[in-house]
Structure 1
Amino acid sequence: MIELAGISRVFGTRTVVSDVSLRVAAGAILTVVGTSGSGKTTLLRMINRLVEPSAGTVRVGGRDIRTVPPHVLRRGIGYAIQGYGLFPHRTVAENIAVVPRLLGWDRRRIADRVDALLGLFNLDPAAYRDRLPAALSGGEQQRIGVARALAAEPPILLMDEPFGALDPIIRGQARADLRAIQRRTGTTIVLVTHDMDEALHLGDRIAVMDRGHLVQEADPAALIGMPATDFVRALLGGGDRAFQLMALRDVDDLIEPGPAPGAPIPAGTSVRAALAESLWSQRPALPVSRDGVLLGRVTRAALEAQGARP
């Protein structure tokens, strides 16, 4: 668990973060969202002591981080940033191995970990381990950046706008990759973003920052259903809240026995995406599959009914 208690940061006469208290449960994803200058990145950096709080306390696993030397603390907390931060003259394997080497891992253990992470990100170790970052696409560099942050198996991963440099298609896949990997590893993640849609899709809880203040902290459905301020409402945008809620739910609980025509949609598809497919393809029901096995169908009526739920 990560606990922030009354955290503030002042630079000169400017208060960048003001009296913020938050808890992040072990194994959860907290997304921190806000406009530029809202204090979200400073808040993130106080967790690993890249920025020292002016007031308040940060605890990780119940321990005040001020009692831990900064370099020791950071070796136990993964950190991924926008632009990936890869060393350009080091190979993919050497980039991923940075922290394990600092921790004194032996060569065999490091090599095994590098290959395991490349496989986890669907990158063939034989094809990628000896490449330099310049030979990688933006999406591949992003994956390597996250793999490096996870290399020493940290229980906590901090991410500062990690997908900001990616195009929309690759960005969507990167989000899905992160969610899938987090479910496998149980890593606690704090992710900063300016993109409310990204915050809603990734976060188990969402913290909204405005001019240094925490103005709301809630799960995605509660945030959409009851925005606490006009600022939160503006970040959510002018779209229909029912459709925003439908994007947070998947079809798995709506599957019923029976046939349906056409190509199946995969289990885990959002209700919103499934409804769009039903309307575009003019099919009143869609087959649903997982790993090539048909599970049943989901009807348009069942999908539409989700829009009426609170």
Structure 2
Amino acid sequence: MDFISRDQTIDALDGQIAQLWEEAGVTTTPDAESELRIQKVMQQIKPQRSWGRYVLPYAAAACLTMAIGFIYFFSGLHLSHKKDPSSRSYTLSTPYGQRKTISLSDGTVVTLSAGSRITYNAGYNLTNRTVSFQGEGFFEVAKNPAKPFIVQYAGLYTKVLGTSFNIRAFDKEEKIDVTVASGRVEVGEIKNISNEKKALAALQPGQQLVYTKTQGLVKVNTLSNLEQVIAWKKDILIFKGARFEEVAAQLERWYNVKISFEQENLKNCRFKGTFKSLSVTALLDLLKKSAGFTYSIQDNYITIKGRGCL
């Protein structure tokens, strides 16, 4: 009851209830797949003008759905199979073109960048505080010395007791960045076969670990401007000599578009600059002035054209 009384549990409960609502017309027995879904939020319910005719049936249906949802969510009763309820996993993700801030049951707050996801099991904050992560996110971890907070991603882990830090770990990017804003953070490798953990570095505020996936190289830098790392939270894009191919991948996530190149050599153009709250066309118009390319747009598909960089 303490858990469901918190505002941050609304997303979790709504996800369960929404899924049950969709499946109610098909079967009355929850299946295994429904247990793993928690991402869809009930967004289609709209107020009706005629209260006497429309509201009562919707209210009754909503009450029934909530009753089923609460019973199913907390009882752990599975008619189709026997399974430890604490082993159920939940994934919260952010689609391209969006950002999301979520609160976990221990008070930890995670801001997810576009194209990112976090996964945790039902035993989170009961037996452990371990989550899996992919993408870019800023973590503000609630302090609990008895239960370290552990993020696992791309063969690495970050372990903290209570601190704030940024992780950038996209599947298609060669490098992984871990940047500490406050507190102390341990970063290490996870051995896939034995699941053993090997510490690589202990980071202090203002330090950043850069890990190269293919070579396993580790470099620790001290940053002069931490705000540049988390500028994405304020809708700011910063390029520091990035190749056009890398820029395009970031723009695809940021604006929910698909970018292709007519000429391969265009991918090697490099860009520097800081851009705040711009549309994708306004941003491309600025970039093309320094690189000499042109582009065309059809729906969400953008084609970069030109012979090469200036």
TM-score relative to the length of structure 2: 0.27
Greater share of residues in strand: 2
Q: Which has the larger radius of gyration?
A: 2
Greater share of residues in helix: 1
TM-score relative to the length of structure 1: 0.27
Determine which structure has greater relative contact order: mean sequence separation of CA pairs < 8 Å that are 6+ residues apart, divided by chain length: 1
